Chain A
Amino acid sequence: MQRLAGKVSIITGGTAGIGRATAVRFAEEAAIVVITGRNRAEAEKTLELVQRAGGSGCFLEQDVTAEAGWIDVMHAVVNRYGRLDVLVNNAGAFFVKPLADTSLEDFKGLWRINVEAVFLGTKHAMPLMARNESGGSIVTVASLAGLVGLDQCSAYCSSKAAAIEFSRAAAAEGAALAHPVRVNAVAPGPVWTDMIARQYGDTAEMRNYFSEDQPLKILGLPADVANGVLYLASDESRYVTGVALTIDGGRGAD
């Protein structure tokens, strides 16, 4: 299908999990996929999947928390492809820790990736997209944890809430541009990713726990999030901006 035909897209954290699934889904819809991240070996695997899906793209090494890195990435993308249409702020970090054991450094570390990187990416992508007649679309992979409180996740929940509110406010600015740039978030609930499988163990019990932890009782997969990101990235949602789309098996409606 051609739902993103010719759209030049950056996906941060495209080396694993939701980022990888999004890269592949975008490639299936004929996007040009630029994945960024720190792990070149994993990035090569994603690129191989992108090519197998009939797409094209490249990998750029990037630390999303450094502003200079963002400027480099934007230059590289414009030099190579001439434009930027879609940014997926996907790179993120996560830990579970009681509040009393969470150091300020722990807290700041999470905020650097989950909030500051989203700020930097959106800030530098928006003016580039505004050059396009067709504007652009920025999608931030936030979390249901930004809409509801989770036990021992105060740093994570607060960072994702900040990312969602940041998107909403940036949406207002993007909408006012001559060539509007839409800014939306997705808010996934429990999703079974490689990272989770490694952290908790890939057992039937764990998978079952993940699928039972929300009303729909199906195991959430990276592809489910990728499909939501695809909708928000594509022109099918061209009147949608400032939303946080929950992809959570109904967990947030509970």
Chain B
Amino acid sequence: MSSKVAVVTAAASGIGAAAAGALAAAGAHVVLADADPAGAAVAHALVKSGFSAEFVLHDVGNEASWIALLAGIETGSRRLDVLVNGPGSYETAPLHDATIESLRAMTRVNVEAVFLGTRHAVAHMVRQAGSHDAPRGSIVNVSSTPESAAGAAAFCATQGAVRILSKSAAVECGARRHHIRVNCVRAGWGIAPGEVAGAVLYLASDESRLVTGTELAVNGGRPGV
């Protein structure tokens, strides 16, 4: 991953932080993005370990925030090679108690965030490629598995959306003859974040240059994959 630049959202903790760490350890410059300022300490720790990282305060559900984030990368004379859309939020409630507000809140950070990130990252990769080269890059969206569970209908709806959004974006990028790959990692509920990092790294790297539109479950083989 050396000389590559990766943006990782939800990087202040959990799967996002672990993915950022793995990408940085593999030699990428990692931009850790999160609305939680604790991400600054995660980035700082990576830099102290001798890796290349920085933190940017970022609201994944806000389009202006995405535009500013990617503009910042350009201003720093860096390319964007990888975007990892980390996990969003998670609320459970039986259907009869679940509120539309809860669904909307999750939709904002779980679905709209991935839509905005994927959209702006693709646009950025197309722009930076210029008119002669095919745009390149890898986008990894973190979703979850199992895909259906009692008491989690609203959350599951958002996760299914991420999975299909990723596949559709993969097919579209291919149809436009881009070498931009879009894949989905489906993390098992309650999984140790470090277990997901290897999957993110594989899908982010050129080792998976033929892999797009796939969904890679990391869940210890639970049924229902």
Contact = CB atoms under 8 A, between A and B. Distances in A.
B171 interface: yes
Contact of A240 (B170, B175, B216): B216
B225 A242 contact: yes
A254 B171 contact: yes
Interface in B56-79: none
Given A172-B223, A240-B199, A215 B171 contact: yes
B212 A253 contact: yes
Interface residues of B, number: 35
A247 B210 contact: yes
Interface string A205-219: 000000000111110
Main secondary structure of the interface of B (DSSP, over half): mixed
Contacts of A231: 198-199, 202, 207-208
B210 A220 contact: yes
Size bracket of the A interface:
35 or more
Contact of B174 (A174, A182, A216, A247): A216
A246 to B, nearest CB: 4
Contact of A215 (B173, B217, B219): B173
A236 B210 CA distance: 19
Nearest to B172: A215
B181 interface: yes
Interface in A94-138: none
Contacts of A182: 221
Interface of B: 167-168, 170-171, 173-175, 177, 179, 181, 188, 191-192, 195-196, 198-199, 201-202, 207-214, 216-221, 223, 225
23 contacts: A174-B221, A175-B221, A214-B174, A215-B212, A216-B174, A224-B211, A231-B199, A236-B198, A237-B198, A237-B218, A238-B195, A239-B196, A240-B219, A242-B225, A247-B208, A248-B210, A249-B210, A249-B212, A250-B213, A253-B212, A253-B213, A254-B174, A254-B213
Given A237-B198, A237-B202, A242-B221, 20 more contacts: A168-B225, A172-B221, A172-B223, A215-B170, A215-B173, A216-B174, A231-B199, A231-B208, A239-B188, A239-B191, A239-B192, A241-B221, A242-B217, A243-B216, A243-B225, A245-B216, A247-B208, A249-B210, A250-B181, A252-B213
